[in-house]
Amino acid sequence: MSETTARKFPLLPMLGHTKGNRSAVTCALKCDNACAGDVCNTSSNSYFRDIASATMSRRAALGFGAAGALAVVLGSAVTSAEPASAAGLSKAAKEGFGKSKLQFTAIKPVDKAVDAFTVPEGFTWQPIIRWGDPLFNDSPDFDLNKQTAAAQARQFGYNNDYTDIVEIPDSKGRRAVLFTNHEYTNENIMVPAGYDAVETRAIGRAAHGLAVVELERKNATKPWSYVKGAPLNRRFLSDTTYELTGPVAGSALTKTVADPTGKSIKGTFGNCSGGTTPWGTILSGEENFNGYFVSPGTSAADKRYGLTSKPTARLWELDDKRFDTRNAGYENEANRFGWIVEVDPFDPTSTPKKHSAMGRFKHEGANVIVAESGHVVAYMGDDERFDYLYKFVSKDKYREGDRKHNMGLLSEGDLYVAMFTGNSPAAEITGTGAVPADGVFDGSGEWLPLVVGGKSAVAGMSVEEVLVYTRLAADKVGPTKMDRCEDVQPSLHTGKVYVACTNNTNRGTGSSEAATEVNPRNQNRDGHIVEITERGDQASTTFNWNLLLVCGDPALPRATYFSGFPADKVSPISCPDNLAFDSVGNLWISTDGAPSTIGYNDGLFKVTLDGAERGKVEQFLAVPRDAETCGPIIHDEERTVFVAVQHPGEEGTFEAPNSYFPDYVPAGTTPARGQVRAPRPAVVQVFRG
């Protein structure tokens, strides 16, 4: 604690400004009140109109499951998975959909006031790792009331979004690495009111970033535990160096006084979803990065990216000049964020990368599949109202077993943005969500080039400008304005690509674009899922599309659509966010925002994609009060599911918590070692038992 103990953590002046579906706290701390401000996209366009690659089942894709992919030697000690074939689609793809070993009876929706983690009958749950858990041999135990930044830097960070677990080959299923990111912090419930302000800001910075943690278990029927002091354990902090790769590396647009090379960047912030690559690395999307910088806020680029001159929610600009880009020498600092990050979880000394070839926007995440041609394709959403869906196609081809080569694939390639055209008359798209006369929301689409063959496809912009100011470049080529693309994930069973459009309550209001066939509801509160079928292989520039789901609670008087499955036989679902597949090809969806829309806690849902039950939505779990469900991992062969529980109890205060997840220490009792009577974000496993 410093001498500035009198300085309280600032009350957040923007609390209460929530226009979207999120809690005021989430809006302020996570999204920098994106929904409270003006729409960033004021362009006129479209107002008129191996892990076996992808992550089929991430586990199968990684080669540890039924898909039977091959493990390859990654280095001296560890191995990872490679696709079953360069085509990306697994053996399971040829065999069609099967019956999952993970059978369950859907839970009933859980009222938003309930502070409980709810699982189906016959299942149980426990955390693998929680905020504050010590990672290294020298890490102090978590002490809720005596937190320091130094301790936090050696402990598990806060608020996990993308999460994956990759078994360490040759460990007989007993060792694995857990990767997760630490998207943002909820200082209002992390530290007491009046806690030292400088230290609180430093704790917040240390609780951001990424983490790799080794897991162990006695055998495949037992739950995982994390291993304190394991050799692969790593925290990525605000001063961790990331190498910027690709066309923008070394550009004048990314140089600062602290980094005259323009390719050596400190830290990553606002990491949301991600993906696991066929070569066993992890991708993580830098999403709401704008909320970490004070900027002039006057340029077209600042406005398009939501960068403003107001103080940031966490006030880090008081501690480090780089967080105020009005400071001389730091004008480009914000250009060094908004990228896809790639991490090698198997090499704790490796330098993580930021891939400029994949464009700069509010990256939700990236999911990779290997095309028939051998090129690697990544699908990516820009999570902002009326922003776009993107696709990256690598210049070089995937080489099975050549991990060093494959780790360079995302550094060079073509970048596209999606344009969707509906096939029903515009008059039939009423904005209510009513299905048009042909019985389906569907049509065709085109991937519009932004960078192709190393050259800019956008008039008046260089390659560097297209990649740094990707939103501005995309505006010029006429893509479709979407309802906040979150996870975008290809199925390894079918190659079809699923896009979670989480919501957009601004659609059809004021001067904003009204409903179109691909975003068919005005004031879209509950979101929808787009299903894309590429016309050729995954690298194709044309596609067909249809909507799989138009989400909501069918019991409420708002239109919903479940691909024809009876609406009275589905679990209510709202605000789809993260996507995953199980080993037999079912889609799993986690949600973020349901408490504010349909009044239930967020959850995880299985959606059948094939056969007579296509469109059937079944709720598997619900997270506790105020929490968001993130990072689902479906190990259905082991009847196990993992989720990250973000911001439990975030609408409470430190002194009056809204949640006691996950330790649930009873009032008046002394917590066991390592436990606290306070909410803690955590990675949770759910298993039979």
Contact 39, 69 (CB under 8 A): no
424's contact among Ca ion, ligand FEO, none, with CB below 5 to 8 A by partner kind, is Ca ion
In the complex with Ca ion, the residue whose CB is nearer, 183 or 465, is 183
In the complex with ligand FEO, the residue whose CB is nearer, 195 or 379, is 379
| Per-residue interface string for the shown chain with ligand FEO, residues 286-325, x marking contact by CB under 6 A | -x--------------------------------------
CA distance 280 to 286: 20
CB of residue 30 vs ligand FEO: minimum separation in angstroms?
Answer: 6
Residue (of 266, 456, 211, 484) closest to 362 by Cα position: 484
438's contact among ligand FEO, Ca ion, none, with CB below 5 to 8 A by partner kind, is Ca ion
Reduce the DSSP state of residue 273 to 3 states and report it: strand
442's contact among ligand FEO, Ca ion, none, with CB below 5 to 8 A by partner kind, is Ca ion
For 615-631, the three-class secondary structure string (H helix, E strand, C coil) is CCEEEEEECCCCCEEEE
**397: which 2 tokens?**
């081809």
In the complex with Ca ion, the residue whose CB is nearer, 582 or 592, is 592
Number of residues that bind ligand FEO (CB under 6 A): 6
CB of residue 619 vs Ca ion: minimum separation in angstroms?
Answer: 18
Residue numbers of the site for Ca ion (CB under 5 A)?
272, 423-424, 436, 438, 442, 486, 577, 592
Contact 100, 634 (CB under 8 A): no
In the complex with Ca ion, the residue whose CB is nearer, 84 or 530, is 530
Cα(first)–Cα(last) distance of the chain, in Å? 44
In the complex with ligand FEO, the residue whose CB is nearer, 65 or 359, is 359
CA distance 543 to 552: 27
365's contact among ligand FEO, Ca ion, none, with CB below 5 to 8 A by partner kind, is none
Instruction: Name the β-bridge partners of 482.
Output: 387
Residue 272 found at the interface with ligand FEO (CB under 6 A) = yes
Residue 25 found at the interface with ligand FEO (CB under 6 A) = no
Length of the chain: 689
Mind giving me the DSSP string for 549-590? Answer: EE-B-TTSSS--B-TTS-GGGS--B-SEEEEEE-TTS-EEEE
Parallel, antiparallel, or unpaired for β 482-483 and 385-387? antiparallel
Residue 587 found at the interface with ligand FEO (CB under 6 A) = no
Whole-angstrom CA distances from 610 to 435, 493, 494, 552 are: 21, 11, 10, 21
In the complex with ligand FEO, the residue whose CB is nearer, 364 or 602, is 364
Residue 486 found at the interface with ligand FEO (CB under 6 A) = yes
Exposed e or buried b per residue across 223-247, where buried means at least 16 C-beta atoms within 10 angstroms of its C-beta: bbebeeebebbbbbbbebebbbbbb
CB of residue 48 vs ligand FEO: minimum separation in angstroms?
Answer: 27
CB of residue 21 vs ligand FEO: minimum separation in angstroms?
Answer: 12
Residue 383 found at the interface with ligand FEO (CB under 6 A) = yes
CB of residue 576 vs ligand FEO: minimum separation in angstroms?
Answer: 11
CB of residue 618 vs ligand FEO: minimum separation in angstroms?
Answer: 23
CB of residue 486 vs ligand FEO: minimum separation in angstroms?
Answer: 5
141's contact among Ca ion, ligand FEO, none, with CB below 5 to 8 A by partner kind, is none
Residue 650 found at the interface with ligand FEO (CB under 6 A) = no
CB of residue 487 vs ligand FEO: minimum separation in angstroms?
Answer: 8
CA distance 97 to 99: 7
Parallel, antiparallel, or unpaired for β 241-245 and 353-355? parallel
Residue 364 found at the interface with ligand FEO (CB under 6 A) = yes
Tokens 């080489």 correspond to 399
Query: Residue numbers of the site for ligand FEO (CB under 6 A)?
Result: 161, 272, 287, 364, 383, 486
